[in-house]
Structure 1
Amino acid sequence: MIEVEHLHKTFEVRQGGLWRRTVRRHEAVRDLSFRVGAGEIVGYLGPNGAGKSTTIKVLTGLLVPDGGEVWVGGLVPWRDRRRHVARLGAVFGQRTTLWWDLPVRDSLDLLRHVYRVPAPRFRENLRAFTELLELGPFLQTPARALSLGQRMRADLAAALLHDPQLLFLDEPTVGLDVVAKERIREFVRHINAERGVTVLLTTHDLGDVERLARRVMIIDHGRLLYDGGLGQLQARYGSARELVVDFEVAPDQADVPGLELLEVQGVRARYAFSGAAAGPIAQVTAAAPVRDLTVREPDIEATVRRIYEGGLLQGALGQGA
């Protein structure tokens, strides 16, 4: 669906005062290459200023790169923009495609005409999205009167009315409560599984990545530093897994050979371990009677934070899946 080869984009940044100014060249994207297959959901991660937005703007045809090649669905975005934009959808958390003073239903109807969606297909998509996203209670409400969660659900419907092959999601759950976030994530999973929509997801909410993407790409200073599975990222750069054990009685000695004891509070003990859980569980249950135990996986947010702060991916280019 997406092919990017040696993409390069530089901006000129003007600095200085009224009488004397200098021009500095900022490389937003440097020699960036990756591919996204049809039907994938890929998390595209990086700190602010890493080059994510520049990449998305090139992929949508809003920017022309200085060098490299880009194909999206076989088209070069900025050369065949009319056909290209007809095949993609986009939802940006801080912007809306709805008309501010119109009821949601009227905005969706206007978009039907913009994208030339046949009336029967429009009605079917509107029915399906109204059910999946629970749009019914606010279809007749002006966009300006919607809550943030309602607006995001309406924007998702608007982005998908014309059956795009590719969906760009930029911070789709920013500012939403837990229930609203899960509703949107479930909808994205549905349109990916049932309609085969390819999704490129940029977000700072790593809960979105954990629940939606099996593959992540991490970019920083305009370069792709990691491209691979989320599990591989955790295994390579994440902290250890944890085994939380509730013993029948508070142990006199909670140490277990081969496990790192992190904490003991009454009958509960926490151990760190790596690899499969079967061995550590067997060791703990053999040491003393156990009431309950839980395996905690490494926190993806903590993993990515360690990567950014510690530069753990420097030199790891090309070592993903």
Structure 2
Amino acid sequence: MNVIEVEGLSKTFKFYRKPQGLSASFKNLWQRQVEFKEAVKNVSFNIERGQVAAFLGTNGAGKTTTMKMLSGILHPTTGKVRVLGHTPSDREDQFKKRFSILMGQKHQLWPDLPAIDSFALCQRIYEIPTPLFRQRLTRLSEVLGVSHLLDIQVRRLSLGERMKMELIAALLHGPELLFLDEPTIGLDFLSQRAVMRFLQQLVKEDNLTILLTSHNMADISALCERVLVIQNGQLIFDDCIANLQNSLGGLRRIHIESELALSSELLSRYGKVISNEIHRAELEVNDGVANEVLQQLLKDIMVKDVRITAPPLEDSLERLYQRQGQVA
């Protein structure tokens, strides 16, 4: 069953260009220069229940605009959108109770109040029965390890602790769909991992559907099974992560560790040298010859450890942009 259905979605913004200078500003009062920017162009995709999808793109590509249309914050200019069986722009109360949106750079908790007070407000807004509210709050706060912080003013919490509280607020009403826009921005790697593990657990236990935007590829690799890439408002890729990495040249990385010093000149005979730290090196080779190169390396070099991996997701995205004639 599809939770999100998008067909021919477009969004155009109208704005007025303000020229420099006082006289030009007065002239602009009567003859305003109107311009239009097409932020999203004819985007179509579906997302099934329980799926975790990443929505990727460079700054200004149209990710957040699309997410705002899916959540009802913005009205589309053209196209059809159905989310959880509703038209988001109608903003029906029953629809708003079934999803949640969390933006890493915007906060919904009152900074001068303890988190528990904001959670109590969420309970009233979403009409959550008290026993169910207590059950969910206990579960979420214990899993995220913040039970002892509920009575502390939000502004006195660390960034990682505040983000965990924001997650609790977004999940208290038991949404079926969660929109995440840069949820780990500014967090240290331990907090990032804690948030990702928590989301993985929710997807597994609650069959939660997640649409995630992030510039942190570690978040994407850890959580998502599917990638949608948007650039200049257009959807240019929609498939699983493995197919993104395999479809753009079929490259592989060979990681070598040796007890002897590794020469870059020697390694370049086998493939492109990505890095060489004397006893550890990384090569890039074509997928079709990866095993052959590996066998030759084992014959020629005293190898302590070796492994073959796919290229980093960032490299695959960069090649995708280059193939589209766009530089990320």
TM score, norm. by length of structure 2: 0.87
1:172 lines up with 2:183 in the alignment: yes
| Range 212-221 or range 285-294, more displaced | 285-294
Within the candidate set 271, 274, 298, 2:283 is matched to 271
Aligned-partner residue type, residue 182 of structure 1: R
| Range 172-181 or range 278-287, more displaced | 278-287
Q: After TM superposition, give the deviation of residue 222 of structure 1 in Å.
A: 1.2
Partner of 1:90 in structure 2?
101
1:133 lines up with 2:144 in the alignment: yes
TM score, norm. by length of structure 1: 0.89
Structure 2 counterparts to residues 229-240 of structure 1, below 5 A:
229-237=240-248, 240=251
Partner of 1:52 in structure 2?
63
Q: After TM superposition, give the deviation of residue 79 of structure 1 in Å.
A: 2.0
Q: After TM superposition, give the deviation of residue 283 of structure 1 in Å.
A: 2.8
Give distance in 2, aligned partners of 1:307 and 1:7. 22
Q: After TM superposition, give the deviation of residue 138 of structure 1 in Å.
A: 1.4
Give distance in 2, aligned partners of 1:255 and 1:305. 25
- Matched-pair contact (CA < 8 Å) for 1:238–1:298: no
Secondary structure, in 3 states, of the residue corresponding to 1:152? helix
Aligned-partner residue type, residue 214 of structure 2: T
- Residue 220 to residue 261, structure 1, CA distance change in 2 (3 Å): closer
Q: After TM superposition, give the deviation of residue 119 of structure 1 in Å.
A: 1.3
Partner of 2:8 in structure 1?
6
Give distance in 1, aligned partners of 2:276 and 2:187. 36
Give distance in 2, aligned partners of 1:300 and 1:224. 18
Partner of 1:120 in structure 2?
131
- Matched-pair contact (CA < 8 Å) for 1:256–1:284: no
Give distance in 1, aligned partners of 2:185 and 2:165. 15
- Matched-pair contact (CA < 8 Å) for 2:249–2:286: no
Aligned-partner residue type, residue 194 of structure 1: E
Structure 2 counterparts to residues 277-316 of structure 1, below 5 A:
278-308=291-321, 310=322, 312-313=323-324
- Matched-pair contact (CA < 8 Å) for 1:238–1:303: no
Partner of 1:319 in structure 2?
none
Give distance in 2, aligned partners of 1:313 and 1:218. 12
- Matched-pair contact (CA < 8 Å) for 2:250–2:287: no
- Matched-pair contact (CA < 8 Å) for 2:138–2:147: no
Identity %: 36
Structure 1: runs of 5+ lacking an equivalent: 316-321
Deviations 1:272-311 (A, max 9, x none): 2232754433332233442222334312123323433x2x
Structure 2 counterparts to residues 123-202 of structure 1, below 5 A:
123-202=134-213
Within the candidate set 250, 253, 256, 1:245 is matched to 256
- Matched-pair contact (CA < 8 Å) for 1:8–1:65: yes
Within the candidate set 226, 229, 233, 1:218 is matched to 229
Q: Which structure has more helix as a fraction of its residues?
A: 2
Deviations 1:226-278 (A, max 9, x none): 10111111122378322232345458994698x31527665555432232754
Structure 2: runs of 5+ lacking an equivalent: 20-24
Deviations 1:78-129 (A, max 9, x none): 2252111110011110111112221111111110111011111111111111
Secondary structure, in 3 states, of the residue corresponding to 2:61? coil
Give distance in 1, aligned partners of 2:109 and 2:285. 50
- Matched-pair contact (CA < 8 Å) for 2:10–2:77: yes
Deviations 1:123-182 (A, max 9, x none): 111111111111123111112222211111001011011110000001000001010000
Structure 2 counterparts to residues 29-48 of structure 1, below 5 A:
29-48=40-59
Superposition RMSD in Å: 2.4
Secondary structure, in 3 states, of the residue corresponding to 1:110? helix
- Matched-pair contact (CA < 8 Å) for 2:262–2:281: no
- Residue 269 to residue 86, structure 1, CA distance change in 2 (3 Å): closer
- Residue 270 to residue 50, structure 1, CA distance change in 2 (3 Å): closer
- Residue 264 to residue 52, structure 1, CA distance change in 2 (3 Å): closer
Aligned-partner residue type, residue 11 of structure 1: F
Secondary structure, in 3 states, of the residue corresponding to 2:90? coil
Within the candidate set 63, 81, 85, 1:74 is matched to 85
Q: After TM superposition, give the deviation of residue 28 of structure 1 in Å.
A: 1.2
Deviations 1:203-228 (A, max 9, x none): 11111111111111011111111101
Aligned-partner residue type, residue 178 of structure 1: F
1:109 lines up with 2:111 in the alignment: no
